[in-house]
Amino acid sequence: MRRLALALAVFFAVAAPALADDPVVTITLKDHQFVPSEVPVPAGVKVQLLVKNEQDVTAEFESNSLHREKIVTAGGQIAVFVGPLDPGSYEFFDDFHNSTRGHLVVK
């Protein structure tokens, strides 16, 4: 059992995302809008998206093309890693408020 725990710990330590090196891009949810709604992101590198929810309702940051879905509680924030991405436009939205939409513009 202890060996298993150790193996798991090593696995997660090795597989854990390298927090320090990746560029961080902040997206803020405010009055049911993403700010900015067009988010420029460099192509070919891993990027950390920091999604802050400054609303008083829960949101779910979701994107079908990026395969991401994560709940952001009211007043809370989450980190989502994306990439390395090919150049193009990737839509994301608030699954709890469907008209709230934005794009990652990867160049």
Closer CB to another protein, 2 or 67, in the complex: 67
Stretch that binds another protein, among 2-10, 23-31, 34-42, 52-60 (CB under 8 A): 52-60
Binding mask 10-49 toward another protein (x if CB under 8 A, else -) reads --x--xxx-x------------------------------
Among residues 39, 47, 85, 104, which is the contact residue for another protein, using CB under 8 A?
85
Please, which residues have CB within 8 angstroms of residue 61's CB and are 6 or more apart in sequence? Answer: 51, 68, 69, 70, 71, 72, 78, 80, 92, 94, 95
Reading the block at residue 19, the tokens are 């927090």
Whether 65 contacts 55, CB under 8 Å: no
